[in-house]
Structure 1
Amino acid sequence: MESHDETGCQAPEGPILCINNCGFFGSAATMNMCSKCHKDLALKQEQAKLAASSIGSIVNGSSSGNGKEPIVAGTVDVQAGPVEVKAISAEASNDSSSNQIIESKVKEGPNRCTACRKRVGLTGFNCKCGNLFCAVHRYSDKHDCPFDYRTAARDAIAKANPVVKAEKLDKI
């Protein structure tokens, strides 16, 4: 205890509750408020300063051409305006394509076999011809598939196995 008296430092007597009675502990650095209440107070003071400066500029009739005096209401309107304009312009430019997409989704309905119109749900089989089939019609010979498997296989083999020829060497 004698060392505390010599240095002039005092130990805190106990935790200090926030002066706003929010239930959290405050500190002397934040004017005996918790950090949340202190931030709210600082935000309110800043907004009051901005409001006072904008009201002062409106009353004096001066415009803020230098950009140092931000106006809160103007900023909010500017942010809301372009968002709506972009959404409207995007809808206007893609109006015909969006209608086609919506119509195709509506026509799709439940998944059904192309051959027998049986509902297949998640167990449907997609064929290379682009249609959906049930377990009975999943094979190409059962639904008269127009896809040419032979040509597709030849092309795949040709891509996988390119012709490799060695260059002719001059005999010594």
Structure 2
Amino acid sequence: MMHAYETEALPCAGGCGLFGTRQNNNLCSLCYKKSVLEQLAALKLEPKPEPSTVVPTTSPIIAAVEEPVRKQRCETCHRKVGVTGFSCKCGHIFCGSHRYPEEHSCSFDYKLSGRLALEKQLPLIRAEKFVRFQS
């Protein structure tokens, strides 16, 4: 049951020039939405952890031991491959010309891996031998 004073249009308390209602704390719909979002943002703010004052240092000995980043190159022709390199199951990276196993004399045994995969997927099922009755 709504009373006449609940639907009565009042000037917005936000000062935007529109009219508000008592249900929205005398705010228009735009100002009310903005105030609700501000309240939610205030609740979500959490104190940020203070950054530690300890600065990690690396010794010059460790920096000298680290290897420089090497560019990816084809194992066969040593051409730079970058992002377009093809990785093989043998563990090496190849260019477009040498990506097939026949082209780079791959050491990975595809036949054996296929047999093992089929063996796992299709287990051998044999019926037990019949026991003959002695009469």
Range class of TM-score, shorter chain: 0.5 to 0.7
Quote the Cα distance in structure 2 between the aligned partners of 1:23 and 1:108: 66
Kindly state the Cα deviation for residue 127 of structure 1 after the two structures are TM-superposed: 1.0
Regions of 4+ moved over 4 Å: 8-13, 36-40
Select which of 105, 118, 122 maps to 1:144. 105
The answer to whether residue 125 in structure 2 is matched with residue 164 in structure 1 is yes
Q: How does 1:8-157 map to 2 (within 5 A)?
A: 9=4, 15-34=9-28, 35-36=32-33, 39=36, 79-81=47-49, 107=69, 109=71, 111-157=72-118
TM-score, length-scaled by structure 1: 0.44
TM-score, length-scaled by structure 2: 0.52
Give the RMSD, CA atoms, in angstroms: 4.1
Q: Which structure would you say has the larger RCO, counting Cα contacts within 8 Å and 6 or more residues apart?
A: 2
Q: Any stretches of 5+ residues in structure 1 without a counterpart?
A: 1-7, 44-75, 93-102
Query: Could you report, residue by residue, the CA deviation over 1:137-170 in whole angstroms, capped at 9, with x for unpaired residues?
Result: 1222332322233432332343344322202233
Q: How many residues align?
A: 111
Q: Give the fraction of aligned pairs with identical amino acids, expressed as a percent.
A: 35
Higher helix share: 1
